[in-house]
Chains A and B, each alone.
Chain A
Amino acid sequence: MAVWLDEIVSEERLLLPGHAACAGCGPAINIRHVLGGLAAAKPDSKIVVVIPASCWTIIAGVYPVNAFGVSVHLTPFASAAAEASGIKAALRLRGVEDTTVVVWGGDGSTADIGFAGVSAAAERNEDIVYVLNDNEAYMNTGVQKSGATPEGAWTTTTPAGAPKRGAKKDMARIMAAHGIPYVATLGAGSLPMLKDFRAKVERAALTPGFRFLHVLGGCPPGWRYPTADSTEVIRLAVESRYFPLFEVDDGTWRITFRPKHPVPVRDFLATQGRFAHLSAAEIDTIQAHVDARWELLETL
């Protein structure tokens, strides 16, 4: 059955035209649907976005120009989750209940330097939406390896001669292990995937407590692919099962998007220069890890 964009997206943009993101920025597409989805799900509610150090301190606009249609609180690299907690607490004390406080934190902030803070906010079950804006490396500083960089990837600190060893940190499963009300993985690689994406944002909007959304977004200069391919790259990430779309709703695991025609992971890897150095044997190893993770997911 056909899916039409205007059935999914009707709200006004909360990341305004003229923002400073690169051409083809995957996260710029994603934040539009995160904020838009939250606004659509709770039209009477306001949104405050908490953003740690990242590309988004620039994309938000050079003072006094502002690229957001919502309030933005910028923080140091490691304290976004704690600061979202502080804002939520203050708004509660002031009787401002109709506000969704959202963290938009990169993978460096979330999986590395701010990891303890994210875990602690989840453990306290703070009433916030934490979005992991994952582009799989420190992109703002020029593509350095993070805890979310995938196995085998080139970055400037894991060069092709010594690429990233070991698995990408599995943040969705780690956060699910905290027993929080809602965890989901999201990728906007096609209209059906966008429908899944928006349904998860809506679910998060309407669920109280700590909600964790892991959103994958492509970075053309960091992943080394043409700027027009951001959607296609994410489509292949999902259809190759490299990035499975699932949710953990009140402890119940569910794969929400099953590729009808799964493709081998090499089809995803081949779209990006960051994997160009990989041998056939290395790609086979990555495929085996992707398959094993999918099989594990099926059992959860």
Chain B
Amino acid sequence: MIQTLPRGRAVVTGNEAAAYAVLLARVQAIGCYPITPQTLIVERLADLVAGRDDVEYANLESEHSMFGYVIAAARAGVRTFTATSSQGLLYAHEQLHRASRERVPLVVVDVNRAVFAPWSIEPDLTDSMSQRDTGWIQLYCSSAQEVLDSVLCAYRIAETVLLPVMVCEEGFLLSHTSEVVDVPDQETVDAFIPELHSPEEWVLDPGNPRTFSALPGSDDYFTFQRNVATAMDDARGVIATVAAEFTERFGREKVAAIELAGNPDAERAIVAVGVIADSARELLEDDDDLLVVRVHTYRPFPAVEIGAALAHASVVTVIDRAAAFGAFGPLGADVRALGIAATNVVCGLGGAEVTPDTLRWAMDQTSSSVLYVPEGV
């Protein structure tokens, strides 16, 4: 059976939305290795590209090899995709550091899942947030639509700044939950994402012998690292420009760095990512002294935007669905580094339920050290 993409408004899961976006972006090389809850993305892509000779689809034997495969294919000049979760992302950790330093424009979807031990396949952001220093742009989604839109934007961003982009969606809550999603047509996407033209000097060309990533002296090594930092800073503007262009072309708003909901002049603010930020909006129904700050772009960290959004708030609560033992949670640490005396609460690890009551409890706390939500809340 020939698989085709749905057109227009369709009921799809976050994982299907990711797969459709990848296909619409005219991906050329796909690396695959199964892991729950990601697997459906590469399964759906396998069906969609079966029999096509303009797409290479490779079954690798590990995520380490899978990331190596797409890095090498990107180095040799084609548009790539892969997806993983949890242990898979951690198994490929070495390749994450390397991909950004090699400046290959990968797009990867990480379906957030808890980290072993003990075993859990439930949603948890520790997998990707613990990779925050690897030089990848990270975009955290809160709906299947945002997954689709962010994957499309990710190709534009990655290929402009020459850094890899990780689009993150919480396992099951987004990956396996069906929503009505607007699937754009191919022509609109083609107009938005031009054919890949990496700079000639970045592409491996057998006719022009060069060695890539050769051993440098210390000063040259430092220069290459500084270039990654500069590219990451340049990405801030590119992410904003691409989101604005997306909004215009596709007729629906694309969040760039952060999204605000509620009262911008409120005394109290809550900062979160992904599905928890979406849950926090429910508090706004009976609370007009609250601002919800949803962080979409986590790396590069939108310090200016978050600082400005929190300028009026005197009580700030930062929610992390990620563990960083012995220190503040990832988002909590970053917000506190802005000089904001935020209370940082960790909740929802391993899919532990986060209800509006959990968030109300969190906002009632004042602490200068990280709090893990206690039993019974």
Contacts and interface: CB of A to CB of B under 8 A. Distances in A.
A76 B29 CA distance: 20
Contacts of A50: 72
Nearest to A119: B61
Interface in A44-91: 46-48, 50, 57-58, 60-64, 66, 68-76, 78-87, 89-91
Contact of B56 (A76, A82, A92, A96): A92
Interface string B197-225: 00000001111111111111100100000
B217 A79 contact: no
Nearest to B66: A82
A91 B215 contact: no
A61 to B, nearest CB: 6
B211 A85 contact: no
Interface in B60-107: 60-62, 64-78, 94-95, 98
A96 B78 CA distance: 12
A276 interface: no
A86 B72 contact: yes
Nearest to B55: A93
A80 B65 CA distance: 8
B243 to A, nearest CB: 29
Contacts of B220: 63-64
Contacts of B64: 76, 78-79, 82, 117
B72 A63 contact: no
Nearest to A79: B68
B28 interface: yes
Contacts of A46: 206-207
A124 interface: yes
A261 interface: no
Contacts of A117: 61-62, 64-65, 68
B60 A82 contact: yes
Interface in A25-52: 46-48, 50
Query: What is the interface residue range for chain B against chain A?
Result: 35 or more
Size range of the chain A interface in the assembly = 35 or more
Contacts of A99: 206
A90 B215 contact: no
A48 B29 CA distance: 19
A80 B95 CA distance: 12
A89 B57 CA distance: 9
A187 to B, nearest CB: 27
B204 A86 contact: no
A270 interface: no
A73 B75 contact: yes
A91 B209 contact: no
Nearest to A66: B211
B24 to A, nearest CB: 18
B59 interface: yes
B62 A116 contact: yes
Given A71-B209, A76-B68, A124 B58 contact: yes
B72 A68 contact: no
B54 interface: yes
B37 interface: no
A36 B1 CA distance: 48
B171 interface: no
B31 interface: yes
A28 B213 CA distance: 21
A93 B78 contact: yes
B71 A66 contact: no
Contacts of A66: 209-211, 214
A48 B75 CA distance: 12
B176 to A, nearest CB: 29
A89 B215 contact: no
A63 B78 contact: no
A185 to B, nearest CB: 25
Contact of B211 (A72, A76, A89, A92): A72
A83 B72 contact: yes
Given A47-B206, A79-B95, A90 B72 contact: yes
B208 to A, nearest CB: 7
Interface string A102-136: 00000000000000110110001000000000000
Nearest to A73: B212
A60 B214 CA distance: 7
Nearest to B216: A63
Contacts of B94: 76
A72 to B, nearest CB: 4
A76 to B, nearest CB: 5
Contact of A86 (B73, B98, B212, B216): B73
A93 B206 CA distance: 14
A79 B65 contact: yes
Contacts of B204: 48, 71, 73, 87
A75 B65 CA distance: 11
A66 to B, nearest CB: 5
A62 B216 contact: yes
Contact of A83 (B59, B69, B78, B216): B69
Contacts of A82: 60-61, 64-66, 68-69, 72
A260 interface: no
Contact of B76 (A68, A76, A78, A94): A94
A117 to B, nearest CB: 5
Contacts of A61: 211, 214-215
Given A78-B65, A81-B65, A58 B215 contact: yes
Interface string A237-276: 0000000000000000000000000000000000000000
Contacts of B98: 76
Contact of A87 (B76, B211, B213): B76
8 contacts: A58-B215, A62-B214, A71-B206, A82-B65, A83-B68, A83-B71, A83-B72, A119-B61
Interface of B: 28-29, 31, 54, 56, 58-62, 64-78, 94-95, 98, 204-217, 220
Interface of A: 46-48, 50, 57-58, 60-64, 66, 68-76, 78-87, 89-94, 96, 99, 116-117, 119-120, 124
6 closest Cβ pairs, A-B complex: A79-B68, A86-B72, A90-B76, A82-B65, A120-B61, A46-B206
